[in-house]
Amino acid sequence: MAHIKFHSVTKRFGNNTALDALSIDVADGEFFVLLGPTGAGKTTALRLIAGLDAPDSGSIEIGGEDVRDRTAAERDVALVFQYYSLYPRYTVRQNLEFPLRSRTRDFTQTEIDQRVDQASKTLRITHLMDRKTDRLSGGEMQRVSIGRAIVREPRAFLMDEPLSNLDAKLREALRSELKELQIRLKATFIFVTHDQVEAMSMGDKVAVLNKGKLVQVGTPWEIYNRPRDLFVAGFVGSPSMNMLVGSVSGSQCSLFDGAQKLLLPAKTAGASVTVGIRAEDVEVGPNGPVEAVIHDVENHGMEKIITLRVADTLLKATVSSKMQTIVDAKVKFGVDPQKAHFFDAASGMNLSA
Amino acid sequence: MAEIILKDIEKFFGPAYVIRKLNLTIKHREFVVLLGPSGCGKTTTLRAIAGLEEIDRGEILIDGKQVQSLEAGDRDIAFVFQLFALYPHLTAYDNIAFPLRAMSESKDSIDKKVRAVARSLQIEHLLAKRPSSLAGGDMQRVAIGRALVRRPKAMLMDEPMGALDAKLREEMRTELKRLHLENEATTVYVTHDQVEAMSMADRIAIMNDGILQQVGTPDEVYHSPANLFVAQFVGSPVMNIAPVTIKSDGKSMQVSLYDDASAFEFPSEIAAQIAASPAGVGDLTLGIRPEGVLLSREARDGYVPSHVHLIEPLGAYDIVDLKFGVSILRARTKSGFASKAGEKVWARLDPAQTHLFNTKSGDSLHIRLGDGAH
């Protein structure tokens, strides 16, 4: 069982608090993503689980047991890094066998063969087994690195941005492969990334970290549709959520000099409000209440993302690629009131949460 | 005015043939993106235009004048690199003013020009700062300011946003485009990022292995890719491709992926078009973007049953993977359309969004039914 738990874990490096009282709970067999910008503490969290660093306070449990006194080897978790750490002069087979030949393990050659065969089939690298690893492409090398983790049959896989050195096409393909692998192995995956698309598309749960603190944990649907604060709202989703200054009067919030009126959620009287609207929730059409000028048009294939300018405010809208859009032309638009997010401008917290 | 013409350009690095007979005309005021994977020759091409790299054969014409023997400094072209390349000991102001001082302009005239450029880049408040105290995006704005201040005839940019984070890149895209509209300088922009290319370019020139694959507007390269390379390099998620077996009985045409048993139905007129196409001889590969794979939750005429293999929620929409034999087809659906893996769904391939390629050469048969997405 590889249920992994952080109890208020803090880790400092000199004056820098890399993790600040982090508590998370990763269920057995879950694909759990740690998402955040550089410096958020994601990699630190992973290294603490692996036993490569020790927390300054708080505790970490793996499978119900406090691992404080367990060495990295005893924790039985496997790390896969961004940079493939393979032995270049060894063949793929030798690289896969290597972790099983360690003196602390007592595997017979038959057992080793079995595990290596199984892993190579799973990762579709059987045709590469006799090749030296310096003759492989980036995607193949990363598959072999993952293979080295699989043969150990660890309690959990810890992955530190394993896709970030691959090109876009390969990254997409490996995204599906990794997710499929995790489902097939029924293994616990903790996956670190700064890429929100990876987090959304692969995670059962996503934990968003910023500056060493946990901001929100939830399913991809929850963090996209119910962002806890302005940070999550702005970090998740592409293009970034539009953030507009609302003027509040009673239970009403108006945008663009009163042209668009929205009803505020209860209990927000007197607050100064930031209104968040995703590009796909801005409806461009002749019946919209707000008038704007098209500031920019981006072609994204099946759709366009246009930037609208209202006085000095810019906001993005997703429209069909069939819509005629001319830069500097006038258009009308409105905001779907059901889809607007309201945040306290001072604290950044979501007012509906 | 700056029209740039590349004629039969060839370049070798030792035995490596890095640009192969490249022909490209970049029109006055146009924003052209050179797009391709690393090592495709795009940066070498850009450096050749700038005069930072000599070419082995061919001609480069700027406004009708051969420039291949001119020094970089005499070509009236500005270059912006991926890494900011600012003078660390000078303020933002002095960095921007630097090229003007080199041309010994008057102090007043320099001041006017620096401030005008700073205003359009919205960095007026940063002019007194040194590069080390600026954020990445602002450093790149200063670098762009330095390039623009001379009002060059042409701007060449080599992955100028490569070092910026995703959110900043999105903002800078819009800024750069607006700037281009105001400055009207002919711009050649190099990137490996197809989103950047699609969203900024008037026309995209796609390169691979030193060979120009296709030149066209974003719409053209997206909707009518010339070959399999372009088809799979442009667009995200990547276009689905699979070798196909085609059977036609005159009334309709059945297309199976690899040797999968289920067959997708197509209008029979495609069979005649395949027969008429020069690339239609031999094995064929089908290509379809995820938005061309139409799904239904109920059995429908012309739809083939399948199961949801994986769901990738992306917020605004989902990508649903279906399996047909060994092939995976990815479909773009509304958010929440499929609820879990294993669910039964029915799929159809929209003929108007289906592309056929010659498997061996990779060339498109250029068969399109209806007007596609347009």
Whether the CB-CB separation of A276 and A323 falls below 8 Å is answered with no
Task: Name chain A contacts of B196, Cβ cutoff 8 Å.
Answer: none
Nearest CB to B235: which of A236, A237, A301? A301
Task: Name chain A contacts of B238, Cβ cutoff 8 Å.
Answer: 168-169, 172-173
Mark yes or no for CB contact B236/A168 under 8 Å: yes
Checking if the pLDDT of A22 tops 90, the result is yes
Checking if the pLDDT of A269 tops 70, the result is no
pLDDT digits (tens, 9 = 90+) for B306-351: 999 999 999 999 999 999 988 899 999 999 999 999 999 999 999 9
Mark yes or no for CB contact A296/B177 under 8 Å: yes
Interchain contact B170–A (C-beta under 8 A): yes
Tokens describing residue B211: 């060979």
Checking if the pLDDT of B277 tops 60, the result is yes
Nearest CB to A302: which of B195, B319, B373? B373
pLDDT higher at A174 or A233: A233
Residues 75-134 of A with CB under 8 A from B: none
Nearest CB to A201: which of B192, B200, B312? B312
Å between A82 CA and nearest CA of chain B: 18
Mark yes or no for CB contact B310/A202 under 8 Å: no
Interchain contact A179–B (C-beta under 8 A): yes
Interchain contact B72–A (C-beta under 8 A): no
Three-class HEC string of chain B: CCCEEEEEEEEEECCEEEEEEEEEEECCCCEEEEECCCCCCHHHHHHHHHCCCCCCEEEEEECCEECCCCCHHHCCEEEECCCCCCCCCCCHHHHHHHHHHHCCCCHHHHHHHHHHHHHHHCCHHHCCCCHHHCCHHHHHHHHHHHHHCCCCCEEEEECCCCCCCHHHHHHHHHHHHHHHHHHCCEEEEEECCHHHHHHHCCEEEEEECCEEEEEECHHHHHHCCCEHHHHHHCCCCCCEEEEEEEEECCCEEEEEECCCCCCEEEECHHHHHHHHCHHHCCCEEEEECHHHEEEECCCCCCCEEEEEEEEEECCCEEEEEEEECCEEEEEEEECCCCCCCCCEEEEEECHHHEEEEECCCCEECCCCCCCCCC
Nearest CB to B313: which of A168, A200, A302? A200
pTM score of the predicted model: 0.89
Nearest CB to B321: which of A176, A234, A279? A176
Helices B136-148 & B166-183, crossing angle to 10 degrees? 20
pLDDT of A270 reads 65
For A220, nearest residue in chain B (alpha carbons): B313
pLDDT digits (tens, 9 = 90+) for A30-51: 999 999 998 899 999 999 999 9
Checking if the pLDDT of B374 tops 80, the result is no
Task: Name chain A contacts of B165, Cβ cutoff 8 Å.
Answer: 37-38, 194
The dihedral region occupied by A80, where left means phi > 0, alpha psi between -120 and 50, and beta the remainder, is beta
Nearest CB to A201: which of B170, B192, B313? B313
Å between B119 CA and nearest CA of chain A: 15
pLDDT digits (tens, 9 = 90+) for A83-96: 777 888 899 999 99
Nearest CB to B310: which of A180, A200, A301? A180
Please provide the average confidence, as pLDDT, over all residues in chain A. Answer: 92
pLDDT of A88 reads 85
Q: What are the beta bridge partners of residue A309?
A: A293, A314
Label residue B370 by pLDDT band (50, 70, 90).
Answer: low
Checking if the pLDDT of A164 tops 90, the result is no
pLDDT of B269 reads 87
pLDDT digits (tens, 9 = 90+) for B8-40: 999 999 999 999 999 999 999 999 999 999 889
Interchain contact B328–A (C-beta under 8 A): yes
Any idea what the Cα angle at residue B201 is, between residues B196 and B207, rounded to 5°?
75
Q: Hey, which bits of A105-232 come out as E strands? A: 156-160, 188-193, 205-210, 213-218
pLDDT digits (tens, 9 = 90+) for A65-124: 999 999 998 999 999 987 777 888 899 999 999 989 887 778 999 999 999 998 898 888
Label residue B363 by pLDDT band (50, 70, 90).
Answer: very high
Residue A21 DSSP SS3:
strand
Interchain contact A293–B (C-beta under 8 A): no
Checking if the pLDDT of B7 tops 80, the result is yes
Å between B332 CA and nearest CA of chain A: 11
Å between B334 CA and nearest CA of chain A: 12
Interchain contact A265–B (C-beta under 8 A): no
Best mutation target, A298, A307, A326, A327, to test chain B (most B CBs within 10 A): A298
* Sequence letter at residue B139: M
Mark yes or no for CB contact B316/A180 under 8 Å: no
Mean pLDDT of B243-247: 92
Mark yes or no for CB contact A302/B174 under 8 Å: no
A337: DSSP letter: G
Label residue B251 by pLDDT band (50, 70, 90).
Answer: confident
Label residue A266 by pLDDT band (50, 70, 90).
Answer: confident
Checking if the pLDDT of B371 tops 60, the result is no
Interchain contact A233–B (C-beta under 8 A): no
Interchain contact A137–B (C-beta under 8 A): no
Interchain contact A201–B (C-beta under 8 A): yes
Label residue B90 by pLDDT band (50, 70, 90).
Answer: very high
Tokens describing residue A281: 């929730």
C-alpha to C-alpha distance for B340 and B335, rounded to whole angstroms: 12
For A176, nearest residue in chain B (alpha carbons): B310
pLDDT digits (tens, 9 = 90+) for B93-144: 999 999 898 888 899 999 999 998 898 888 999 999 999 898 888 888 899 8
pLDDT higher at B14 or A353: B14
Q: What are the beta bridge partners of residue B306?
A: B345
Residue A33: Cβ-neighbour burial (10 angstroms; 0-12, 13-18, 19+): buried
Residue with tokens 């876009």: A168
Checking if the pLDDT of A243 tops 50, the result is yes
Mean pLDDT of A209-214: 97
Nearest CB to A300: which of B165, B199, B336? B199
Q: What are the beta bridge partners of residue A255?
A: A260
Mark yes or no for CB contact A301/B167 under 8 Å: no
Mark yes or no for CB contact A237/B373 under 8 Å: no
Checking if the pLDDT of A9 tops 50, the result is yes
pLDDT digits (tens, 9 = 90+) for B187-236: 999 999 999 999 999 999 999 999 999 999 999 999 999 999 999 999 99
Mean pLDDT of B351-369: 93
Interchain contact B128–A (C-beta under 8 A): no
Task: Name chain B contacts of A202, Cβ cutoff 8 Å.
Answer: 312
pLDDT of B1 reads 67
Nearest CB to A172: which of B237, B316, B335? B237
Task: Name chain B contacts of A201, Cβ cutoff 8 Å.
Answer: 312-314, 319
pLDDT digits (tens, 9 = 90+) for A125-153: 899 999 998 888 888 888 899 999 989 88
Å between A175 CA and nearest CA of chain B: 9
Label residue B372 by pLDDT band (50, 70, 90).
Answer: very low
Å between B222 CA and nearest CA of chain A: 6
pLDDT of B373 reads 42
Q: What are the beta bridge partners of residue A10?
A: A57
Task: Name chain B contacts of A173, Cβ cutoff 8 Å.
Answer: 238
